Each structure stands twice: as structure tokens, then as C-alpha cells.
Structure 1
Amino acid sequence: METLTMKDIKRLLIANRGEIAVRIAQTAHQLGIDTIGIYSTSDQNALHVDTVDAAIYLPGNSLSETYLNSNKIIEIAQQNDCDAIHPGYGFLAENAQFAQNVNDAGLIWIGPTPEQIALLGDKMLAKQAAIDAGVPTVTSTEVHPGEKPPKVKMPVIVKAAAGGGGRGMRIVEKQADLADAINSASREAESAFGDGRVFIEPYITHGRHIEVQIIGDSHGNVLHLGERECSIQRRNQKIFEEAPSCGISPEVRKLICDGAVALAKHVKYENAGTVEFLINDKEEINFLEVNTRLQVEHPVTESVTGLDLVELQIRVASGEQLPSSQEDITFNGHAIEVRLVAENPSQNWMPSIGTIERFHVGDGVRVDSGIREGSQVTTEYDSLIAKIISYGSDRQQAIQKLARALRSTQISGIETNQSMILSVLAEHDYQQANTPISYLQDHPEVLDKQEVNPKDHNALLLGAVFALEFQERNNGMVTGFTPSGWRNLRTQGQRQIWKSQYGEDHIEYTI
């Protein structure tokens, strides 16, 4: 029997940026681990640079020169006496060759093995592995551009074997359109991933996107940490994530959680991962894919389990056994995460760039963010501003706490989807957990910019004017004894100009 040795991690390089780099650094520091960060020119004043113990500059302008420069990142880790590399999510996190190179350099890779990343990163191979493991799913068929496609029951979805993010994906409702969809999906996949292989499978309409969090260790132990629902999406990118899902039965929950563990054990999975499913209202289950990394939405799982997933990742990578059995894992309450992004939903999710002038999130919620006041938002990177996570004893309480925090959240300098999130939280179907993947298409009204009632607008102006007045009076070290706006010969009131997304308001007042 192979003897496994514990590997001590004293210094960790975080091969990422933004909120996930901050998140990883926080847990590493709690474990007494030193952190080394990396940054590009545009990130030199970023929050993650100040969060890590030391940050190393990545010269160059393109991603291939900076956050995708695997050789440079490994070199930095070696030069700074790092023991391990945590890739976060995105960038190099699911790059099997990078994982192998990290191991070959004598460093610890905090993630699944390179072989597992390669196997499960190929959706066709992953589907076969899932079938072999007994995971509930529908059948899929490999198709080839330029060839006559098979006759199949519509609708279907054409999917790329490699990559993700919705690229190389087409929904087809008519047989006559299938050949063109296969050709265009294959071209897009070849361009994006260097792999033009595509396949088709039945498309589940009005389904729910449900994923199961798994984690395994090098001793053969695998746990599931429950499911998350991530059905509210735009352009195949998640906006809302919840745990647990209120849209599946206990029987379906058991099927997908047991299936996720079976697949993980079948491939001897190590570290954190997510097994994704699509489930329709008839409780038909389709296995989608495995994400071989930490997910953006991991905080909702942490909220309902009380576990720190980054800590578990680090401990497992160090050679430790998982500290709990499946029977020890308990699920309490309800958690909701929303992604605040620098995009305008009412303008077809148009990206917004600029300087964050004001950034304050209301209390009572967890905020995972990589920005602060003064941060620059550009089109170079993902539009994520912050993840806001609420936790309650039940779903309704979680909704109320999240809505309350968002109502008092102040962000200026850029456009965001804050208003859209509040509209969803108040919408009837969302309140009733009726949230299939078609939710945003079914409720286009939540994307519209909310108009402020004139009376509310005036009340807000009055509140802003007198809040500033109060602040200035308290700070008035010299003139604090005089009446507000005092002049020897007053001819007019005090005047202010307030700017907002609704225009300018010219105010004159006397006290």
C-alpha cells in the first residue's frame, strides 16, 4: 500500500486576482500561511495586492503575459519559496497542463489531479464517466460539422466538448436548423478552445440548474456538501445562487447527491469540485458537467454547512484526510448569493467602466469583493464587483435580509445590476421559488430601470441634504456655534447641486 506523507504548506502563491484572491488569502492567513499574490499593471492598486503578504508584478499587457503566463507564475512561486499554488477559479484553474507543471516543479497543486482535470474537462468523456458511475442523465450523441446530422426529437442543445462559459453552445428547435448550428458551434469551439468537437443532447426547457458540491481527499474519502440552485442566469452566467434548492424533491436531491459522490469515487476525485445537473419539472435529470475547481458561489454552501471550503482545499492538498464523515455534515437554514456586476441590465447588460467613487454595502450580509472606493473597473477582466451573501433560518428571511442590505447599498461611478436584483427579490415567482432557467426571459420587466416616484425622489433629496448638513455641523470646529448658513446679510439660502442617475437637482434651503 502506498504511504502518503503530509506536506506542510507555509507559503502559498495565489494565481488569481480580485475577490477570489482576497478570499483565499483570508483563509490562508487564518491558518498561519503566508501569501504571495500577483498583479498586472492595471491591478497595481487592487485590493488583493494589499491583502496578501507580498505581491509580485507581472509585466506585460495581455492575459497571456500576465494571469495566463503559467511559466512566469511558477517561476515567481519558486523564487519566493512558496510551497503551493492555489489557482482560484477562472484563468488557469482548470488547465491540466498547468497543474502538471506545478507538480513537476515540486510545488503542491491545490486542486484535483491533472488527470482528473483533463478527464472531466472534456464534456464527452465526463458524460461517459458519469454513465459508467450510474449517475442519472440523458444520452448524448457526438456530431461532426459538414456531415448530415441525425434525426432527433426537438429541441436539442449543441455543446462543445471542451471549455465552458456558454461558448460553442446552441439551442436548436427545428431539425432544419441543426446542421448550421453544429457548424457554427464547432467553429466557435475551435476558435475559443482549440477543439472543435461538439455533441448534441435533448434540451430541457424550463429546467432548473442544480449543482452538487463535492470534495475528496487522497485517502479515498468523498463527501457531498449539498446542492445549490443557480437557475437565474444571463448569457449562461449565474446571477443568483441559493442553498438549498427549493425546487426539487427530497428524492431528486438524494439521486443527484448520491450520483455526484458515485462519480467522484469512480474517478478517485481529490479536492473541491462541482457536479452540475439540469432538472425539469417532470424531475428528469440530465448530468451537465463537472467543474474541477472552487466555484464562485461556494459561500452559500459555507453558510448552510458552517464549513470553510478553502480551508478544506488546503488541508486536503496537504495530504490530510477529510475531517468529517457524510453523517457528520449538517445543513441548516437558507443562503442566497447575488453577483453584483458592472453591467446595465436595461441596456442588454452593457458593460460599465469607470472609477468606483462610493462603495458601501448594507449590514447583515457577507460581502466577498475585490474592489473598494477608488478601484478602476475596466473591460480587461470579469465585470464582477461583489458577491453579496445573506443567510437566514429560512428562505424568506434570507430574502428579506438581502433586500434590506441592498436597499442601503451605495455604489457610484459605474452602472450595476443592483436595481435588477432588488426587482427579482420582490417579484412573485421568485418569492415562490418558481425560478427555472428561463426566469429572466419570462420576466423581462425585472431588467427595466426602476423609476423613482417623485415623492420618494424628493424625500431622498431632503434626507441627503440634511444628512450632509448634520455631518458638516458636527465637523465644524470653528463655525459650529453659528446658525447654519449664517451670513451678516443673507440674500439667498444655501445652494447645492446633487447628481444621480436621474439627472441633476438644484437645491436651495435655509434653516
Structure 2
Amino acid sequence: MFEKILIANRGEIACRVIRTAKKLGIATVAVYSDADAKSQHVKQADEAIYIGESPAAQSYLQIDRIIQAALATGAQAIHPGYGFLSENDQFALACEKNGLVFIGPPVAAILAMGLKATSKALMEKAGVPLTPGYHGANQDADFLKQQANNIGYPVLIKASAGGGGKGMRLVESEQDFLSSLASCKSEARSSFGNDDVLVERYVVNPRHIEVQVFADTHGNCVHLFERDCSVQRRHQKVLEEAPAPLMAEVKLESMRQAAIEAARAVKYVGAGTVEFIVEQDGTAYFMEMNTRLQVEHPVTEMITGQDLVEWQLRVAAGETLPKQQHELSIHGHALEARIYAEEPEKDFLPAIGQISYLHYPEQSQFVRVDTGIVEGDEITTFYDPMIAKLIVWAPNREAALVQMHRALGEFHVEGLGNNIAFLDRIVRCDSFKHARLDTNLIQREQEALFNFPNPSNAKLIVAAAFIELLLRLQKNQTQHRSVWNSAPLWRLNITGQYQVTLKQEEESQQVVFSSTAQGFKAEFAGQCFEISGELDQANHAALQIDQHKFGLSFSRSTDLITVFHNSQTIRFDVAQQKFNQEDDNSSDTGLKAPMPGLITQVLVEAGAVVKKDQVLLTLEAMKIEYSIRAPNDGVLTACYFQVGDQVKSGDELVAFELSVLAADVPEEAEA
């Protein structure tokens, strides 16, 4: 076994690898950029080496610097994690040339599975079922169009070197094929440096199921069952589970064996995932193989009881697989939710900033949190905005859903937007509860997932105001310890009365509290409540409203009190409301950046006449490209940034003058 390894990654996965390495007595070396100097993976590792500036291209993608860090610290092997260099054949080759063990598959296997077209040709030869389509080398546009016509619409055009939803276009009709092809090739060229594509039949309402495989250098190869990753947005996974529910065992076993055949076809070694696109009747087609550990590997660990990172380390050290196929079995059901700093209600716009308050659910054999983030950390534009992975286990799927709902309710984040409430709505929506799964689930359940009532009600508003009152009284007792302040509710011959005013979405909520022998009487919006309680621990209050006793978690900042209720985050302004003329955009003739990011395209020049909704430029943040569109017809008078410029949230991007549409001019004037 290795004595020391370097982890060529950051954040959650680096912390995950460190955890297993410590269990095995292996020393660890972390690498870090400017943005990660104080990160958890740096603190948890035995050593840490600085490798460059914050952008990944200047740090985590610098092969030479990472190799030198490993050599300088005496590391014997490098674990690439996932993302970054994990599937980079040149990195694996550099490790090999420098006498370092790459904790991953052989270079030949990475190359074989790195291009979709190449891998599909290999799979076809190995007898692994493929989606009907064209996977060849001929890239002539007219030829590809003819192939699409032969397949029948709708079809998918996919970048051969693509991944993560990039370089993919759905084409509904023959008329749209050539323009979609050009767009797909352009994106593939800029994202992957390779514009080769393949064309496949589009499977309507498919499930996305993947099989975890493992192979060693001694000829052993096993599967560790499958995961259903159908719940996605923009081709990015949102919720994963294992095993795949409501799928015939014979179909699942066929997929598992096909995955092993795929691994054997490329002489695979280590952890790999074979992904299938699956019809609703269970007919499966090979999609691709990920030659690394997957983000969602914890659900497999929860149902098998195996540590997959330990398996990786043992296989890379030359040992045989820890278990053979007959020794592996499924126990219970596991779910994983990816907690992201993003705002689902704003088209999943990434949320950038500092986490002012963070509370994780209590971990146990049933609840697990994988993360590299703690309270006070900042989510930046440089890396993926995932805060943590929340994984739950239960004896069956129904119980796992209950466990996930509870755990999400105990997961609290403040300081920036997050998707916790959105994930909880998915877990509780009919389609997911009854395992009616496909990659269009979020769109199909849009009404339930996005159109929901304001979660605050009279009792919740009174509870938030009461917590604010308790905080003020607590502060008063701490700062003023005279006999007159030791019992702040005491008044001579009168009832103590307090008023707390909260503001939510520009609406003031005024609650008046009068002290009573048992606690307080609260008056709000013509209603009366008996309320009592205490701050029983930091960020938690034990309350009773009328005859209802309950606990409520909260956070308090300079001008906000936030309560966390049933997976919802409800914010109230408790400071003087500030009104700023700049907030009124009714006469604004500029467009501001909605988030920090990189300008990837500037499609207009100063002086250009633009139409409403015309794309003016594109902005990339968190691996997602956003189009900045003209809010009205007009003339562009200035463009303040160029391609490659980094912008901050709120930066003015362009300026233009509004114009009158010709259609609005009276006919007499036109004459």
C-alpha cells in the first residue's frame, strides 16, 4: 500500500479522499489555488502545495505543477478525484513517465472511452447495445443530415468529445438540422478543441441509469449494481439513487453484464461507470463510460457497504479486488441530493458570495454529508457551486424518501441562494414519489416545483418576530446588568409591551407583544396568539404558540432574521428599509451583469440597431452560458467589455437608446 498520495483536486472530493486515506494510514498532500488557500481540503491534508492563481486553467489544470508537487513531497501516487484532470490521458501519461501511480485506469482505456464515437465503435464490436445512429468519422454536413433523415426525427447531435451537457443539440425536424449542426460544432470546438459529432435517435422520456464497475490488474472485474440518475436539469444530475427503482431485474442484470463487457473490452482497471440511456420498457443503450469515480458514488457505498475510494487505492497499489461478484449484494435504498448555491426560481442562476450561516443535518448510519465547505466560506465564480452532497439510507425507498425530507429540513444555508427547498419539492412530488422517472421529470412537474405559495403564515411571522424579541432581550441583559434590567419584562403597575416590525417582500409585518404570567400575548393582523419559549441553543428556539410546541431554527445578521421551516428559507428584514433610486430600472437604458462571469461572445457593436430579445452578448459562469438580451428595440450606444473580459455582478455591460417601432407609427405618417 502507498505511504503518501497527492490529491490533484479540491473541495468535497479532496476531503472525501483524505478521509479514506487517513483510515488506511496514508499521508496526504493537497494542492491549492489562491481562492482555496484557507479551504478545508488544505486544512485536512498532512501537507499542501500552492499551484497557482484562482482560475482552474492556471492551477488545477497545470499538469507540470501538480507533478512537481508530488515529486517534491515524496508522494508515490496521485488521486485525480473527478473533473479537472481525472480523465486527461496526458496527465495519466505524465504520472507514468515520472514514476508516479495514477489512481485511475490505464492511458489506453482513457483514450478508448474519451471520444464518444470511438467508444461506441468499441462497444458495438463487444456486443454492447447502442442507440440507433451514426458514430463514424465522416463529418460532411450533408452526409450527417442524410444519416439523421435515415434515423428519423427527433435526433440528438452530440459532440464526440463532449460531456456535462455541452456540445449537444436536439433537432426536431430536417429544416433545423444544418443550423443545429453548425451551432453544436462551434460549441464543441470552443469547449473541447474537437468539433467531431455523432448523430443518434432521440429517446423520448428516457431514464438515465449507470452501472458502477471495478476491475483490477489480475483480470478480475465486477459490478457494484446501478444508480438511477434520471432527475436532471440542463443535462446535469440533481438527485441520484440506488438501486434503480421499478425496473425488471432481468433488464437490470442485462445492463450490469453489458457494463462488465464494456470494461473488459478496453482492458479497464480501477473505478468506472458505464452509462445507459434507457427506454421506459427497460431497453437500454450504451451512452458513454466515465473513466473515474463519479460524484454520486456515495449511494453505491451506502447500499453495498463498500468504500470505493479504498477500492481505488488498493487496486492502484496492485492488490486484487476486495470482493468478488458473489460477495456483493444490495442492502436497502440510498438517495443523494446535490446542494448547490443557485436559485432555481431564477432559471438556476448560480449564487455567488459568502455563506453567513451553515448548519448540516446530524450525521449517522442513515445520514451522510460529503462537503468541503464550512460556515464563512465563499462560493466563487472559479469553481462548481456545489455546497455539499446529502446522502441518506433506509431499508426501502419509501423510508429513504422520508429520511431525505427530514434531512433537507435540517440543512440550513444563509447568505446566498440555494436549492434545498427545490430538492425537497422534487422528493415530495408525485412523479418522484412513485418512481415515474425520466430526464424530463423537472419539466413535467414544473407546476409543483416552481409555482408554490409563500411559505410564511401568521404563526410563522409571529414566531420570527418572537425570536427577534428574545434576541433583543438577551442582548439587553448582556449589555446592561443593573437591577432594573435583570428582569426586562418587569414593569411597575403596567403590562410590558414590545413592538417588532418585520418586512417581507416590501410588506411590513407588525407584531405587538404584551407580557403575561405565562409568557406573552402576540397581536398580529387582527389575530391573537399566546406565545412563550426560549433560545435553547445557538440558532434554535423552543417555542409554544397556543397549545402547539415546536422547535424553529434561525439565523440573524445585521439586517435580516431568517427562519428555516420545512426545508424553506424565509427571510425577514428587521432593519430600516433603504430605498435607492438606482433600484428603479424603469428608465434604465443599460444592461448589468446578473452575476460574475466571463464574456464569451460579443455579438453587436456600438451603433447597431437591435430588436427586443436580440442576443447582445453571452456570459459564462459556473460552466453555464447565459444570453444577455435587449429588453427593447433600440440603438446600441456603447459596449463596455470584450470577449475574454471578467465582469463582476452589477457591472454595466452595454448602453443603448430606445427607439420607436415602425409598426407603432400611424399609417398617415408613413404615407
Normalising to structure 1: TM-score of the pair?
0.93
Instruction: Pick from 478, 482, 486 the counterpart of residue 482 of structure 1.
Output: 486
What corresponds to 2:376 in structure 1?
374
Instruction: Pick from 101, 114, 119 the counterpart of residue 107 of structure 2.
Output: 114
Q: Secondary structure at the match of 2:399?
A: helix
Q: Secondary structure at the match of 1:261?
A: helix
Q: How many residues align?
A: 504
Q: Deviations over 1:19-63 (max 9, x none)?
A: 001101101111101111111111112121111112212222432
What corresponds to 1:352 in structure 2?
351
Q: Secondary structure at the match of 1:147?
A: helix
Q: Secondary structure at the match of 2:142?
A: coil
Instruction: Pick from 12, 17, 29 the counterpart of residue 24 of structure 1.
Output: 17
C-alpha deviation, 1:510, in angstroms: 5.1
1:87 to 2:89 alignment: no
Q: Tell me the percent identity.
A: 38
C-alpha deviation, 1:473, in angstroms: 10
Map 1:242-253; keep pairs closer than 5 Å: 242-253=241-252
Return the alpha-carbon distance in structure 2 between the equivalents of residues 97 and 240 of structure 1.
32
What corresponds to 1:425 in structure 2?
427
Return the alpha-carbon distance in structure 2 between the equivalents of residues 470 and 256 of structure 1.
63
C-alpha deviation, 1:406, in angstroms: 1.1
Map 1:223-372; keep pairs closer than 5 Å: 223-363=222-362, 365-372=367-374
Q: Which amino acid aligns with 1:398?
A: A
Map 1:28-107; keep pairs closer than 5 Å: 28-107=21-100
Return the alpha-carbon distance in structure 1 between the equivalents of residues 344 and 461 of structure 2.
26
What corresponds to 1:4 in structure 2?
none
Q: Secondary structure at the match of 1:338?
A: strand
Q: Secondary structure at the match of 1:232?
A: strand
Return the alpha-carbon distance in structure 1 between the equivalents of residues 315 and 387 of structure 2.
30
Bigger radius of gyration? 2
Q: Which amino acid aligns with 1:166?
A: G
Going from structure 1 to structure 2, the CA distance change for 1:217 and 1:350 (only over 3 Å counts) comes to: same
Q: Secondary structure at the match of 2:230?
A: coil
1:452 to 2:445 alignment: no
What corresponds to 2:167 in structure 1?
168
Q: Is the 8 A contact 1:207 1:280 kept in 2?
A: yes
Return the alpha-carbon distance in structure 2 between the equivalents of residues 257 and 147 of structure 1.
38
Map 1:202-213; keep pairs closer than 5 Å: 202-213=201-212
Q: Which amino acid aligns with 1:257?
A: R
Return the alpha-carbon distance in structure 1 between the equivalents of residues 482 and 128 of structure 2.
74
Q: Deviations over 1:105-130 (max 9, x none)?
A: 11111001111111111111111121
Q: Is the 8 A contact 2:304 2:329 kept in 1?
A: yes
Which of the two has greater helix per residue? Answer: 1
C-alpha deviation, 1:92, in angstroms: 0.4
Q: Which amino acid aligns with 1:353?
A: I
Instruction: Pick from 142, 147, 168 the counterpart of residue 142 of structure 2.
Output: 147
Return the alpha-carbon distance in structure 2 between the equivalents of residues 257 and 43 of structure 1.
39
Return the alpha-carbon distance in structure 2 between the equivalents of residues 245 and 431 of structure 1.
13
Return the alpha-carbon distance in structure 2 between the equivalents of residues 470 and 267 of structure 1.
69
Return the alpha-carbon distance in structure 2 between the equivalents of residues 207 and 84 of structure 1.
39
Q: Is the 8 A contact 1:485 1:494 kept in 2?
A: no
Return the alpha-carbon distance in structure 1 between the equivalents of residues 49 and 501 of structure 2.
43
Return the alpha-carbon distance in structure 1 between the equivalents of residues 383 and 359 of structure 2.
22
Q: Which amino acid aligns with 2:487?
A: P
Q: Is the 8 A contact 1:216 1:223 kept in 2?
A: yes
Q: Deviations over 1:286-341 (max 9, x none)?
A: 11000000000000000000000000000000000002110000101000001011
What corresponds to 1:442 in structure 2?
444
Going from structure 1 to structure 2, the CA distance change for 1:285 and 1:487 (only over 3 Å counts) comes to: same
Which of the two has greater strand per residue? Answer: 2
Return the alpha-carbon distance in structure 2 between the equivalents of residues 179 and 190 of structure 1.
16
Structure 1, unmatched stretches of 5+, are 1-7
Instruction: Pick from 454, 461, 464 the counterpart of residue 461 of structure 1.
Output: 464
Map 1:6-17; keep pairs closer than 5 Å: 8-17=1-10
Return the alpha-carbon distance in structure 2 between the equivalents of residues 10 and 328 of structure 1.
29
Q: Which amino acid aligns with 2:72?
A: Q
Q: Is the 8 A contact 2:7 2:80 kept in 1?
A: yes
Return the alpha-carbon distance in structure 2 between the equivalents of residues 382 and 32 of structure 1.
30
What corresponds to 1:219 in structure 2?
218
Residues 195-204 or 361-370, more deviating: 361-370
Structure 2, unmatched stretches of 5+, are 516-671
Q: Is the 8 A contact 1:136 1:255 kept in 2?
A: no
What corresponds to 2:394 in structure 1?
392
Considering only aligned residues, what root-mean-square deviation do their CA atoms show, in Å?
A: 2.5
Q: Is the 8 A contact 1:361 1:406 kept in 2?
A: no
C-alpha deviation, 1:403, in angstroms: 0.4
What corresponds to 2:199 in structure 1?
200
Q: Which amino acid aligns with 2:80?
A: P
C-alpha deviation, 1:493, in angstroms: 4.3
Q: Deviations over 1:410-441 (max 9, x none)?
A: 11001011111111111111110012111011
What corresponds to 2:186 in structure 1?
187
| Greater relative contact order, per chain length (Cα 8 Å cut-off, separation 6+) | 1
What corresponds to 1:409 in structure 2?
411
C-alpha deviation, 1:394, in angstroms: 0.5
Q: Deviations over 1:350-393 (max 9, x none)?
A: 11111101111233521111111000011111011110011010
